[in-house]
A and B are shown apart, each in its own frame.
Chain A
Amino acid sequence: AARMFLRLLSDIQWRAAHPKWRRMTGSQRSTSSTAEPHPVSLPAQAQVVICGGGIMGTSVAYHLSKMGFKDIVLLEQGRLAAGTTRFCAGIVSTARPVSIELKMAHYSNKLYQQLEQETGVQTGYMKTGSISLAQTQDRLISLKRIASSLNVMGIPCEIISPKKVLQLHPLINIHDLVGAMYLPEDALVSSANVSLALATAASRNGVQIHERTSVSHVTIQKGRVTGVETDRGRIQCEYFVNCAGQWAYELGHSGEEPVHIPVHACEHFYLLTHPLQEPLSSSLPTIVDPDGRIYIRNWQGGILSGGFEKNPKPLFTEGRNQLEIQNLQEDWDHFGPLLSALLRRMPGLEALQIMQLVNCPESFTPDMRCIMGESPTARGYFVLAGMNSAGISYGGGAGKYLAEWIVNGYPSENVWPLDLKRFGTLQSSRTFLRHRVMEVMPLMYDLKVPRWDFQTGRQLRTSPLYDRLDAQGARWMEKHGFERVKYFVPPGSDLLDLDHSKTFYKPDWFDIVGSEVKCCKEAVCVIDMSSFTKFEISSTGDQALESLQYLFSNDLDVPVGHVVHTGMLNEKGGYENDCSIARLSKRSFFMISPTDQQVHCWAWLKNRLPDDSNLVLEDVTWKYTALNLIGPRAVDVLSELSYAPMTAEHFPSLFCKEMSVGYANGIRVMSITHTGEPGFVLYIPIEYALHVYNEVMNMGQKYGIRNAGYYALRSLRIEKFFAFWGQDLDAFTTPMECGREFQVKLDKGIEFLGQEVLLEQKQNGVYKRFTMFILEDHDTDMDLWPWWGEPIFRNGRYVGKTTSSAYSYTLERHVCLGFVHHFDEKTGEELVVTTDFINQGEYEIDIAGQRFQAKAKLYPFSSLFTQRRRKDEVELSGYQRE
């Protein structure tokens, strides 16, 4: 039945088109599964070996060969497009909330549209459009947010009424709908044939394709890929690309040095029916009914309908492998709720006859985003996998970005949200993955409101103070496996209410966070910030300083005890990381960077530091608990605890000193905060953490000390116009573009990475500018709150998007941060953004289709600094935080 099905989904043209590339590899195509001899032996070496002949592998091969790489070998353990790709529902949709995913889908759609003409292989491409239905107002808001970002990208998209839905698709029951989103350009394809078309084109461009060849493992020497071992011999190669889909995890673990690729398979079901009495038109739009957890597309006069059920069935947790996917068992009882949803949406289909219930494994990742990029431990080892059931939508774009990555060293877009290095070994536990994907799969269609969190795989990394904080009402969120406090619920608050804080409007923790912010401004607060990534770099001689001077843009040759905020830039001057570095001694440095930099920053430094045994890089994240004392009275608390004067004369800003706090000696105290308020961060060896915390809280009592969480921190840093790496800053943003020229020492006398670009920008100006917006006519109580990703309009024209936002309790206004571009009105060409351009404009921010007036500012409000301790305090505004 499975084989029969393959023929149904793919087009008849397949065999006609096939020989074109098949002839090049010299073997005969036959639909029977009898083992064929391999007439062409494997090459002994190649530049790139791609493992996996599904949509990902063929797309990477296609794009690599287009970009001029010639020496490429694609290996497929079974037959091309015979894995998850074969069973793909074939829906190409740009209705994606994450901007980079949206771009990939948009590119894929354009690519597939012309693929048939390019290759002669019928892809079944049909521009049907798609309609996403909303059964609730909240769902409609989430659709409107997507529509806003699609519109500014020039992708046609419309919010339509239920009546209009009925005009577009006569079978739909619209009684329970409040609205819908219509994307006329979304398409349907036969994904197996798209994959074959890409293979055909790649083959014409010189890519060697070998089926029935499985990779046993990849050999890595000195942190570099050297080759692959297959069941047909070894191939030496420079680059290896793991596109093994649901087998990617195992393949990553097959070698001596494991490459952790956190994907886990779940069973995924869809239904195929016979044609209707009056067969459905092949141009009928695809229906997505996320509240009903289903999608429905037309298929050969009947329908194809599947979905993401509440109770997914993970499989292969124990790592069972198989050559090609057998058709898994149909499980009608499991599919029941989806069938109910289908018949509720299209009651007219009751009499439609069932053809088959397809069950095929689909790979999911811990955060619902796909995985691409280079392994942090093995250079040349690339990965493209974990498509979370959107493989065909992402296939073209993902393949393109990965090919660019291999060829140019970096893709043309910021792909950090998809980068393999956002994960570490901790996400590769099978138990973690199994539990997490059971949450992720239903989440595909769940409503996602601002600040939603994963609930599974929690309490993995915690501070030693976790229980203490939890007992005091802490509410938690997670970053890179680390539990962090959002805010503290005061005793006596209605807990049930707080759990229902999921809304697009004003959340119910509003006043709680407000009081924490107030305490930071007027007294003193403690925030546990232990999750930050902490490295130590030391050397016997000047190696550490020399290397860091090259890798960082600020001047690190400062007196011992000074702290420097600096970007870790790439060749294009973009932020790979944003950190604070304290000079502990002449030859050793302590580096603090965002939590999710643990893998990326490590790999970046490892790959660029000289191979010198006298230069030591150590990850000391786990060794220290970090307590941030924020507020004007922090100085009093600390001086009482240490019997040391802490005033600005004795302990200036951006200073670092080891001292005693209570009984504990050797506490590393830095006069920095992560908000711009006065204060200190204490780096405490973990065994002293509880003691120091207790001492601080006891001593702080008379100064009105209280606990605070990250929401307060966030509000403080955004109203101070502090950019945060990973949210506001990325590898495509330079210090010049975000007002941080003062953190760059172009004249430090040592050449550093990205210097040329920065020099050039200094002379000629920048093409985007980080700007702060204060919403003017926005009603905090009644209006939708901004989140991030909202389009910014200047004089009615789109100029960029926000990157973060928060309510400022000081300004009593919402503040959005974002980038302003200057597109030429006629050509759309990007022009230099000047201060005048920013200042001479009328701005609006679009929140889910509704525009709010905003005031643009390039510098923070100086009046907010009520307790300025030193004139150069403004320096702080450059500091990163999360």
Chain B
Amino acid sequence: FYLTPSQVNSILKANEYSFKVPEFDGKNVSSVLGFDSNQLPANAPIEDRRSAATCLQTRGMLLGVFDGHAGCACAQAVSERLFYYIAVSLLPHETLLEIENAVENGRALLPILQWHKHPNDYFSKEASKLYFNSLRTYWQELIDLNSGETTDVREALINAFKRLDNDISLEAQVGDANSFLNYLVLRVAFSGSTACVAHVDGVDLHVANTGDSRAMLGVQEEDGSWSAVNLSYDHNAQNEHEVERVKMEHPKSEEKSLVKQDRLLGLLMPFRAFGDVKFKWSIELQKRVVESGPDQLNDNEYTKFIPPNYYTPPYLTAEPEVIHHKLRPQDKFLVLATDGLWETMHRQDVARIVGEYLTGVHHQQPIAVGGYKVTLGQMHGLLTERRARISSVFEDQNAATHLIRHAVGNNEFGTVDHERLSKMLSLPEELARMYRDDITIIVVQFNSHVIGAY
């Protein structure tokens, strides 16, 4: 059973989305040209989420990928809410006051974000009031705090992450009179999500990362070749510093039980995450909330299950690590992607494939016969294969789609193999997760002309 190339394309392109920064007077004055994003599910439903928005009251653009686990509720909530928390954290005092006054007097609110969403990227209508109230509480506190200092992006990002996670936790503890909402906030809190968020404003690029998604910068060297620069650290067992941090936060007695089989408490792959109150709340709190919660929660073995060796919570935090990078003209693009991509592709390959795609130039190593013995037939075969590689580029109008095509379909020679692609995409739902993870990718393309002029 094989999929035809057009069937393959319709699967790959189902979730693709592109945004081009509008030009003003024939010129794009932003440091961002636009972005391409896409996701390919392995779980049903998919547990990854993505978000992109332009800040309207401050400058800059926000882009993020969110990898959910134990369900998609937390990732969904974070994808809807986090950018509001960040935007609010960045707002100057006067704007916060203005917004508060508008709400107070029932006037129209200043728009804070302009979202760039694929039709499949939904917002939950039911929770919007609840989420809004939590956000309003946050900005009211910010107004009261009024430090008078200009907002530091790094600090704003960290505060926003922590505050949202805190609100998720609180909302679950307080509950809601509406039974649907009550169940929703609990599902959000008991599931988890990583977050990898980029904020681009002029040449200032900040990446805030919590968990094991990854941000990578594509750099074009002087000779035209492509290289990759990491703009985030994975928070997992492979990161020594992260393991060190977790160990520092808990008594030495727990040292052996903290990380087992490369997982936190032997259970969780990412070492930082939103939600996951099972790794944050005390056992008592967990028991109380579950018991008083709706039946569905009580019936769920996972929520009732207390992690082993659970002595000194919290074991998990949503606090991000923030990396600041000053964009240079040679920085051509940024890739944000969940671990589904990075498990299958080396970042160097990602840089090359995206770079070649975006420039339309394929810096394949030119073939030189030199002193080797090559027959006409061998050369012909080699050239045919190279042509196929190039033609696969032209099938995609979206860099993220192109990357997914390679991630899923690459054979051992680094060429997209249709047969393999077809097999991987036609796996039955229950098997798909065994062969691949959800993949979510955002490729942001920078405007070298604007960046060079800074």
Contact = CB atoms under 8 A, between A and B. Distances in A.
Interface of A: 271, 273, 329-333, 335-336, 339-340, 342-343, 349-357
B379 A339 contact: yes
A100 B366 CA distance: 42
A273 B369 contact: no
B125 to A, nearest CB: 51
B387 A336 contact: yes
B366 A332 contact: yes
A440 B383 CA distance: 26
B377 interface: yes
Contacts of B377: 343, 350-351
Contacts of B369: 330, 332, 354-357
A359 to B, nearest CB: 12
Given A332-B366, A333-B367, A354 B387 contact: no
Contacts of A351: 375-377
B376 A354 contact: yes
Nearest to B364: A333
A271 B383 CA distance: 15
A353 B366 CA distance: 19
A248 B290 CA distance: 89
A330 B368 contact: yes
A747 B382 CA distance: 78
A336 B369 CA distance: 14
Contacts of B382: 332
A350 B373 CA distance: 13
Interface in B410-444: none
Contact of B376 (A331, A333, A349): A349
A273, A336, A349: residue with the most chain B Cβ atoms closer than 10 Å:
A336
Contact of A332 (B373, B375, B379): B379
Nearest to B386: A333
B374 interface: yes
Interface string B375-396: 1110110111011000000000
A352 B380 CA distance: 12
A354 B379 contact: yes
A331 B379 contact: no
Contact of B367 (A332, A342, A350): A332
A343 B383 CA distance: 13
A658 to B, nearest CB: 49
B366 A331 contact: yes
Contact of B373 (A336, A343, A353, A357): A353
A352 B375 contact: yes
16 contacts: A273-B376, A330-B368, A333-B383, A336-B383, A339-B376, A340-B383, A343-B380, A350-B376, A350-B380, A351-B375, A351-B376, A351-B377, A352-B375, A353-B374, A353-B375, A354-B369
A340 B386 CA distance: 14
A350 B368 contact: no
A836 B201 CA distance: 93
Given A333-B364, A333-B367, A350 B383 contact: no
Contacts of A329: 366
Q: Which 3 A-B pairs have the closest CB atoms?
A: A350-B377, A336-B383, A332-B367
Interface in B335-393: 364, 366-369, 373-377, 379-380, 382-384, 386-387
Contacts of B376: 271, 273, 339, 342-343, 349-354
A423 B369 CA distance: 42
Contacts of A330: 366-369
Contacts of A335: 383
A227 to B, nearest CB: 46
Contacts of A273: 376
B380 A339 contact: yes
A260 to B, nearest CB: 35
A342 B380 CA distance: 10
Contact of B383 (A339, A349, A352, A355): A339
B372 to A, nearest CB: 9
Contacts of A336: 380, 383-384, 386-387
Contacts of A342: 376
Contacts of A332: 366-367, 369, 379, 382-383
Contact of B375 (A331, A333, A354, A356): A354
A23 B387 CA distance: 54
Interface in B101-130: none
B387 A333 contact: yes
B154 to A, nearest CB: 46
B375 A350 contact: yes
Nearest to A342: B376
Nearest to A303: B376
B30 to A, nearest CB: 33
Interface string B132-171: 0000000000000000000000000000000000000000
A496 B451 CA distance: 47
A782 B366 CA distance: 52
A340 B380 contact: yes
A340 B383 CA distance: 9
A333 B374 CA distance: 15
Nearest to B372: A354
B385 to A, nearest CB: 10
Nearest to A350: B377
Which of A330, A331, A355 neighbours the largest number of chain B CB atoms within 10 Å of its CB?
A330
Contacts of A333: 364, 366-367, 383, 386-387
Contacts of B373: 353
Contacts of A343: 376-377, 380
A335 B379 CA distance: 11
A335 to B, nearest CB: 8
Nearest to B387: A336
Contacts of A355: 369
A335 B382 CA distance: 12
Given A332-B382, A333-B367, A353-B374, 17 more contacts: A330-B368, A332-B379, A333-B366, A335-B383, A336-B383, A339-B379, A339-B380, A340-B380, A343-B380, A350-B377, A351-B375, A351-B376, A351-B377, A353-B373, A353-B375, A354-B369, A354-B375
Contacts of B386: 333, 336
Nearest to B381: A350
A350 B383 CA distance: 14
A356 to B, nearest CB: 7
User: Which of A332, A339, A356: most chain B CB closer than 10 A?
Assistant: A332
B364 to A, nearest CB: 7
A349 B369 CA distance: 17
A340 B366 CA distance: 18
B252 to A, nearest CB: 61
A195 to B, nearest CB: 28
A330 B383 CA distance: 13
A168 B376 CA distance: 23
A704 to B, nearest CB: 49
B379 to A, nearest CB: 6
A346 to B, nearest CB: 9
A357 B374 CA distance: 12
A349 B374 CA distance: 12
A271 B375 CA distance: 12
Nearest to A344: B380
Nearest to A347: B377
Contacts of A271: 376
Contacts of B387: 333, 336
Nearest to A339: B380
Contacts of B379: 332, 339, 354
A355 B364 CA distance: 22
Nearest to B390: A333
B436 to A, nearest CB: 32
A37 to B, nearest CB: 36
A332 B378 CA distance: 12
A575 B416 CA distance: 66
Nearest to A355: B369
Interface centre among B374, B376, B377, B382 (most CB of A within 10 A): B376
B201 to A, nearest CB: 40
A273 B379 CA distance: 12
A297 to B, nearest CB: 15
